[in-house]
Chains A and B, each alone.
Chain A
């Protein structure tokens, strides 16, 4: 079975402060990890995937297999980062991207 845990339902920071959204996973094989974001009244969209190792909108995330974590970080939060963030895992299926989502973290960046 695969499981994703996001321990913080709500996270509030001030503009310019660093932000870290935590994600831990449970999976016996080799997972693919993603961060999806949902801005207010917009569709769910991909922010990051671990395999690409990119920095998107200043966010980075590193897969730590030893700690089974994939935390999302940004050194200086902006007000436009306020959104719901979901960590998601795809197992070793070949048919499609069968995503298991965490419960999500609602990030609020205050001015």
Chain B
């Protein structure tokens, strides 16, 4: 299995809702990532997990809360989001170190 799977594919949430995005990989990768991609823009790194520990937080607001329950799963918990947080959220995984990252299809999030 060489895929990164993200659920759900689409999500619409209100500004007072709490929701979670999920990401799964079974390639044995020990580094996992969350990226945010706005329309017609490149992906921007949000968080990096290395060996299930948060190693990089790119000054992301606390309304985004990542979690890595085990080496195959990565979650992104969302709470009190703003309309400007609407974007495509990409999960990726890789071996630890500077190597190829495998991306999921993304979750298209709309905050209303």
- Which listed residue (A46, A98, A103) contacts B48, Cβ 8 A? A98
Main secondary structure of the interface of A (DSSP, over half): loop
- Which listed residue (A44, A97, A99) contacts B97, Cβ 8 A? A97
Given A96-B33, A97-B100, A98-B48, check contact A43 B42 (CB 8 Å).
Answer: no
Verify B55–A44 contact, CB threshold 8 A: no
Taken together as a complex, chains A and B put the C-alpha atoms of A84 and B6 apart, in Å, by 21
Contacts of B43 in A (CB 8 A): 44, 86, 99, 101
Verify A45–B103 contact, CB threshold 8 A: yes
Interface residues of A in 73-111 (CB under 8 A from B): 86, 90-104
Residue of A46, A97, A99 with most chain B CB atoms under a 10 A cut-off: A97
Verify A43–B98 contact, CB threshold 8 A: no
Verify B103–A96 contact, CB threshold 8 A: no
Tier of interface size on chain B: 20 to 34
Verify A46–B100 contact, CB threshold 8 A: yes
Given A43-B104, A44-B90, check contact A99 B50 (CB 8 Å).
Answer: no
Binding site for B on A (CB under 8 A): 32, 34, 43-46, 49, 86, 90-104
A-B pairs with beta carbons under 8 Å apart, 30 shown:
A43-B105, A44-B43, A44-B103, A45-B102, A45-B103, A46-B102, A49-B100, A90-B98, A93-B56, A94-B96, A95-B50, A95-B55, A95-B56, A96-B31, A96-B32, A96-B33, A96-B50, A96-B56, A97-B31, A97-B98, A97-B99, A97-B101, A98-B45, A98-B56, A99-B43, A100-B45, A101-B42, A101-B43, A102-B42, A104-B42
